[in-house]
Chain A
Amino acid sequence: MAASPSRRSMSKGAWIGLTLGAILMAAPLVWTLLLSIKANGELMRDSGTAFSPPYTLENYAAILQGNMVFRWLINSVIVSLGTTLGVLALCSLAGYGFARLDFPFRKTLFVFVLLGLAIPEQAVILPQHRLFADLGLHNSYPGLILPGLAGPFGVFFMTQYFRAIPRDLDEAAMLDGASRFTTFWKVLLPLTAPAQATLGVFTFLGTWNSYWWPLISATRGDMFTLTVGLASSQMNYAQTSGLGFLMAQAVFASIPIFIVYLIFQKQIVGAMAGAAVK
């Protein structure tokens, strides 16, 4: 087992700290949930009414009755999934290349990629918008997926992870006559399962929650992602007269990612419990 057993059991102090932290973490979420199951009118008069009945599911009903919501949900799923799969593929390949292979300008190129981490979104978003307009890619799935594939974080992350894997495995495989790609595909890639899961969740999350690019690239209602679509369906002054509905939207938009996290959490835990890297 490679899990670090720093302590068999935690000290009382640690438990208390952990519980306190958990309360601080959970309190805002519980507050949101409570607000989402109250009627808008009541909340407008006094948000303290969230602490007492009557509660209602009318806000959720209102969301589900919206005719575009499921379209937006599907858009978000397609874009997030597409970006995640693309990133995992591209970054695993590139990470292996940078970590294990020697080719001209490798170090320079890696620094070149590193620079990308420093580029703020607002610095490139408008030139990117022009570029995509010239390519006719707005209001399309490729238009929403492609920018996400160009992010350097995944490459950086996978390179670090590949580097940490001992080289003996590579050498053993090469001695057996395996090609570079086979070594990559059959030997090393499976060992990166925890990293794949982590990077995958990172990317899915980041894409699901991205707001600015989808806002200005997919301006037609049927191409909205869920985040943008829910924002568009709010009436003016939604924070005052539609607080319950707003919070219900927040909860609704988060459920799919919670599910994703729950699924992958088991993977990560399983990988940590069962990995045999020595």
Chain B
Amino acid sequence: MIRPARTLLLGLAAFASLLGCSRQDDRTEIYLQRFFGECGAVYGAAVDLSAAEGECGIITALINRFNAENPDVHVEVNVVAWPGYPQLAAQLAAGDPPDLVTMHQDFIADYMTRGLLEPIDPLLAQAGIGPQNFTAAARRGVVKGGRVWALPWDTVGGLWHVNTRLFQQAGLWRGGHPVFPTSPEELIAHARQFRARTGRPYLIQSQVNDPATHVRNFYTFYLAQGVPVFPQPNRIRLATPEAKQVIEFLRLLNSEGLSTRDQDNPAAIASFMNGEGGVFPTGTWMIGNFQQEAETEGRPLHASYSVYPYPRLFGQRPTPVVGGHSWVMPARERSDAQRAAIARLFRFMAAHNFDWSRTGHIPAFQAVVDSPEFRALPHRTNIAPLAETGTPFPAVKLQGPIEGLVGEEISAAIMGQKDVDAALRDAERRVNELLAVSF
């Protein structure tokens, strides 16, 4: 009695597993590794992009939808802790990297110069897109040596987040927009006026444990003056009078009390949300949070928020320093079917770049930046110029370590802990030593 039932069950089980097996064999598998968090609880099977919110939600829904619309392909997603570089380095060292991985545009050069990445030009051609479709900023981020090394996903940059009510109170308002300074002297004058009329600091800055803020500010104002940072590929030059001028200016903001001093990033965010200052120079990623505050009744930032690119204080053209997320293909064995599948994924992603821009980051495709839907999102018309003027960090290789070294020295100088000349000289020396010994 039991025997036939058991046999039947076993048979069914075997048949079912065979079914599973054969389905897997038919599909082309792409192993995709990303950060942005894990939100399977909320977005596990979601395919509705327009309803998805936040970086995690949108990217999850996007890949789910691609998998649903392309049953012959399966994108296997591996979520790693941000920024994912130790893991990637270990995977590359072990010879087993993912098919596709998120990478900040600033770091592409490091991997590419060591032959660790595969150029994606042929796949872009298959997908019917090319660098001419990217924004200028995105092009600068992913095109190196005439080849395209990654699919640009967005442009992430520094912005001036503004408390419009305080600016009006300070008398720095005209024609529905804040009046921004056009030179360092003007900024100081505005800041003093702001303080006098509102009793609040002009600037809220995250300066504790945040060298990235200082580096961004420094380069944004320094690059505009047109002094080459790398006169030769393996040598950096920072001890220039223009650099000194920028740092002394940033230092002055602290010593004159025109900016907050003792805040780390979470504190600065809270401070801005509580209406405690005029401008918070942070990035595109905060737009969503601040906009939400602006739309909530009873909150200090209610109806008092707007956001703009950094004002041009030095030099002739604005050079806001930007980065961006992108998708790279680590060098590894791949079948033609996999390559074709990746090309289709690229095409799909390019087609849905608008949905990603709801995170606050600026789209990487010019058509999206120009589109009415994008411009209809809050504040995007103000910040769209970043897609054109956005400048990557100057570096040929070792972007990460160099930025770290420069950040360390500049931070010390700006916070008044180190003499400006000494900091710039030390930064130069340390970076040059680093470049001298590297491969």
Chain A residues positioned under 8 Å from B249 (CB to CB):
none
Q: Is the Cβ of B55 less than 8 Å from the Cβ of A235?
A: yes
Interface: B226 (CB within 8 A): no
Interface: B426 (CB within 8 A): no
Chain B residues positioned under 8 Å from A240 (CB to CB):
265-266, 269, 289
Q: Is the Cβ of B94 less than 8 Å from the Cβ of A68?
A: no
Interface: B171 (CB within 8 A): no
How far does the Cβ of A67 sit from chain B's closest Cβ, in whole Å? 5
Interface: A269 (CB within 8 A): no
Name the segment of B76-84, B117-125, B143-151, B212-220 touching the other chain: B76-84
Chain A residues positioned under 8 Å from B95 (CB to CB):
133
Given contacts A66-B40, A241-B289, contact A126 B93 (CB under 8 A): yes
Interface: B37 (CB within 8 A): yes
Within 8 A of B (CB), among A128-170: 129-130, 133, 138
Interface: A179 (CB within 8 A): no
Interface: A44 (CB within 8 A): yes
In the bound assembly, the distance between CA atoms of A208 and B56 in angstroms comes to: 27
Closest to B87 in A: A219
Closest to B95 in A: A133
Q: Is the Cβ of B94 less than 8 Å from the Cβ of A232?
A: no
Chain A residues positioned under 8 Å from B36 (CB to CB):
235-236
CB 8 Å contact bits of B272-287 with A (1 = contact, 0 = none): 0110000000000100
Interface: A234 (CB within 8 A): yes
In the bound assembly, the distance between CA atoms of A232 and B79 in angstroms comes to: 6
Say which residue of B56, B78, B266, B289 sits within 8 Å of A219 (CB atoms).
B78
Chain A residues positioned under 8 Å from B79 (CB to CB):
221, 232-233
Interface: A62 (CB within 8 A): yes
Chain B residues positioned under 8 Å from A239 (CB to CB):
265-266
* Interface footprint category on A: 20 to 34
Given contacts A215-B87, A216-B87, A232-B38, contact A243 B78 (CB under 8 A): no
Chain A residues positioned under 8 Å from B89 (CB to CB):
216
Within 8 A of A (CB), among B228-276: 265-266, 269-270, 273-274
In the bound assembly, the distance between CA atoms of A237 and B35 in angstroms comes to: 12
Q: Which of B79, B81, B293 has the most CB of A within 10 A?
A: B81
Interface: A46 (CB within 8 A): yes
Interface: B422 (CB within 8 A): no
CB 8 Å contact bits of B34-50 with A (1 = contact, 0 = none): 01111111101000000
Interface: A174 (CB within 8 A): no
How far does the Cβ of A233 sit from chain B's closest Cβ, in whole Å? 4
CB 8 Å contact bits of B357-393 with A (1 = contact, 0 = none): 0000000000000000000000000000000000000
In the bound assembly, the distance between CA atoms of A250 and B82 in angstroms comes to: 17
Q: Is the Cβ of B81 less than 8 Å from the Cβ of A232?
A: yes
Chain B residues positioned under 8 Å from A130 (CB to CB):
93-94
Q: Is the Cβ of B274 less than 8 Å from the Cβ of A129?
A: no
Q: Is the Cβ of A234 less than 8 Å from the Cβ of B81?
A: yes
Q: Is the Cβ of A129 less than 8 Å from the Cβ of B94?
A: yes
Interface: A220 (CB within 8 A): yes
Given contacts A68-B40, A236-B285, contact A44 B269 (CB under 8 A): yes
Given contacts A44-B273, A46-B270, A241-B289, contact A129 B41 (CB under 8 A): no
Given contacts A228-B81, A232-B79, A235-B39, 5 further A-B contacts (CB under 8 A): A68-B40, A129-B94, A217-B90, A219-B78, A239-B265
Show 16 residue pairs from A and B whose CB-CB distance is below 8 angstroms, ordered by the A residue: A44-B269, A45-B273, A46-B274, A68-B40, A130-B94, A133-B96, A138-B96, A215-B87, A221-B77, A233-B79, A234-B37, A235-B36, A235-B54, A235-B55, A236-B37, A243-B266
Nearest 3 A/B pairs, CB to CB: A235-B37, A65-B41, A216-B90
Q: Which residues of B contact A (CB under 8 A)?
A: 33, 35-42, 44, 54-56, 77-82, 86-87, 89-91, 93-96, 265-266, 269-270, 273-274, 285, 289, 293, 299
